[in-house]
Amino acid sequence: MMMLVVCEVRPGVGKVDVSVVVRDTNNVPTFLHLDRNYVAHRHGKTYLPIGTVYRDKEKGVALIEFPEEADSGAHRIWVPLASLLEPNGDFA
C-alpha cells in the first residue's frame, strides 16, 4: 500500500535531482538520490512516497519499501509509524 514517509530534502548535484533523507526507528539516516519530482509536500513538510510492507500499531513501527534503492543499498527499513502519512494527507 502506498503511503508517504516524512523526509528531509537536501540539494542534489543538478537541477533534476535532490538528496532525500529518511530516518529509521533508531534515527539512522538513509539517503536516496532521486528525481526532485518524487517529493510530495503535505502540512508544510516534505514526504517521500513509499510502500508499506508491514505495520505494527502496538509497537508503533512500520516496515517501508523505497521506490528506488537507497545509496546504501537498502530497499526496506523500519520507521516510526508516526512518520507515515496517508497519500490524502491523513496521519497513519
Partner 1 sequence: MILSDREIKLALRRDFLRITPPPSDGAISSTSVDLTLHEQISVWLPHPQEMVAPVVVHPARPTFDEVPLLREHGATLLLPAAGFILKPGALVLGWTEERIRLPHTSRLAARVEGRSSLARLGVGVHVTAPTIHAGFGSLDDPQHVGTRIRLEIWNCGPLHVCLEKGMKICQLILEEVHGTPEKGYEGTFATQAPEGVPPAPPTSASKPRKRRR
Nearer to partner 1, 17 or 45 (CB): 17
Q: What's the CA gap between 4 and 64, in Å, rounded?
A: 10
Tell me which residues touch partner 1 (CB under 8 A): 1-2, 10-17, 19, 24-26, 28-31, 33-35, 37-38, 40, 49, 51, 53-54, 56, 59, 61, 63, 67-69, 71-74, 76-78, 87-88
Nearer to partner 1, 71 or 91 (CB): 71
Residue 26 per-residue DSSP state: T
In angstroms, the CA 27 to CA 32 distance is: 16
Q: Provide the minimum distance between the beta carbon of 34 and partner 1 in the complex, in angstroms, as a whole number.
A: 7
The amino acid at 16: V
Which residue stretches of 1-92 are H helix?
none
Least Å distance, CB 60 to partner 1, is 10
Which single residue is written with the C-alpha cell 508491514? 54
Nearest approach in angstroms of CB 13 to partner 1 is 4
Phi, psi (deg, nearest 5) at residue 37: -75, -10
